[in-house]
Amino acid sequence: MRIKALFLVALMASSLCSCGKIDASSSFPDGSLSRVSDQKIADAVFHFSFDYELFMPGSSPSYYMLWTGYDLENKFGPSVPLTDRFYTYLTTYQPKSGSYYALYLTSKTIEEAKAWYDGRKSRINPDDPNYHFCDDFDVLDGKVLAYAQTQETVDYRVYSTKDPSSLPFFLPGYQLAVCLEEKPLTIEKNVSLDQEVNRTIPIYRRSEWAYSPEEGVLKPYVFSGDEGRNVKVVDSRFSYEGSKIEAYPFSFQSADYSYCPLLGLGAFPHFSSAISARVREEGILLPRYSGYGPSRVDLLNPSTDFTAREDVYRDFKSRFQEAYLRDSDETFGYFDTDKVMNIIHQVGRGI
């Protein structure tokens, strides 16, 4: 299954990287830039994935998968067979760590990447709404790293900093390729199995910068058009602080790191509506109604005609009626957190 296989490749790349090497030379004397000696961090930065799709009209996955882990009858999104089921996890997104990681490639690799990029554009439409690069090689959007990831052996260096604007664009024999921002994510619990996990891993997102040759400094870069919209979505997800319930393969709970957007169902391809729900003090935010005005339907009403709507709760309406607390807005409502967790666990056990 393509979704699951790509998740495993990107998320579980925690062994030593055979396609690259890191030099153990020292950090900058002023402490503004520290050389990364931890190979797992270096691997995480090098393997950052740009193969995500945030906007796939008409392909939004179903909330139903939060209860069941799979959905053999989901006409509103991808179906996942029972053998490849996903599990619902309780996660907590911590505040940003303030750490950034800069990856440098050799000047030779940078030049090779330019020719590769020209050929890539002839195969992949740059006008696609999920195309994440621009043509300017002074913009650090990761296109040269995307090339390096296709090579068997790559010489690269990874540094950490608290101030990405102070990053040197050039080092002797090397050039800055991409900058990533880090924050911690705690995988609290496998709700489906009612198993505590309590693991905190770093997640990384691309930080967009551009080099100004005239001034010799880095400046924040703002994408326009479709990629500008992509960046805003990623910013929103990465900046979120708080808890969620989310559906991922079982391998998620043993991952050493991940990326934003998180890799899982809704990652390859990504969807504009990920399979997740925010957990707040008032309860879990879940869909309560569908549509507006005269076409508005009650998702908890068993007599509602769902011919043209997704039946989010299906066979479990009575259970969610008991868990329902109050409306949040015209679409969502608050549901009792403990009761929803219990429903997910019961369904996961086939009760």
Which tens digit of pLDDT belongs to each residue from 220-236? 999 988 888 888 988 99
Average pLDDT, rounded, for the chain? 83
DSSP state of 142: S
Q: In terms of domains, do 9 and 19 share one?
A: yes
- Judgement on whether residues 171 and 258 belong to the same structural domain of the protein: yes
Which of 245, 280, 315 finishes a domain?
Answer: 280
pLDDT at 265: 42
Q: Do both 31 and 103 map to the same domain?
A: yes
Reduced to 3 states (helix: H, G, I; strand: E, B; else coil), residue 195 is strand
- Dist. CA 160–CA 295, nearest whole Å: 53
Percentage of the chain lying above the pLDDT 70 cut: 82
Residues 337 and 226 in one domain: no
Asked if residue 179 has pLDDT above 50, the reply is yes
Same domain, 300 and 184: no
If you search the block for the tokens 């169902």, which residue do you land on? 265
Instruction: Give start and end residues of each alpha helix (H) in the chain.
Output: 2-11, 39-46, 64-68, 107-123, 143-148, 225-239, 317-323, 337-348
Lowest mean pLDDT among 28-37, 99-108, 197-206, 326-335: 28-37
Q: Do 198 and 311 share a domain, yes or no?
A: no
Q: Is 1 in contact with 84 (CB distance < 8 Å)?
A: yes
Q: What percent of the chain has pLDDT over 90?
A: 53
Q: Which residue has the higher pLDDT, 74 or 110?
A: 110
Q: What Rg, from alpha-carbon coordinates, does the chain have? A: 22
Domain end call among 280, 309, 329: 280
Mean pLDDT along residues 12-34: 48
**pLDDT given at position 55:** 65
pLDDT of 15 strictly over 50: no
Q: Is the pLDDT of residue 270 over 60?
A: no
Q: Identify which of 77, 84, 83, 47 has the alpha carbon closest to the alpha carbon of residue 63.
A: 77
Domain count, the chain: 2
Are residues 191 and 111 located together in one domain of the fold? yes
Domain that holds residue 304: 282-351
**Quick one: which of 245, 243, 227, 244 has its CA closest to 235?**
227
Residues 162 and 92 in one domain: yes
Tokens describing residue 303: 């007599």
Same domain, 213 and 303: no
Beta carbons within 8 Å of 293's beta carbon, 6+ residues apart: none
Do 273 and 158 lie in one domain? The reply is yes
**What whole-number distance in Å separates Cα of residue 230 and Cα of residue 133?**
11
329 shares a domain with 236:
no
Cα of 68 vs its chain's centroid, Å: 22
The angle formed by the CA atoms of residues 241, 90 and 326, to the nearest 5 degrees, is: 80
Q: Looking at 225, 253, 280, which one is the last position of a domain?
A: 280
Question: What span, in angstroms and rounded, lies between the C-alpha atoms of 142 and 325?
Answer: 45
Q: In the structure encoding, which two tokens stand for residue 160, read together?
A: 């950490």
CA–CA distance, 136 with 140 (Å, rounded to integer): 9
Q: Tokens 């008409």, residue?
A: 58
Which pLDDT belongs to residue 291?
83
Measured CA angle at 188 (ends 183, 189), to 5 deg: 145
Query: Among 102, 100, 109, 107, which Cα is nearest to 175's?
Result: 107
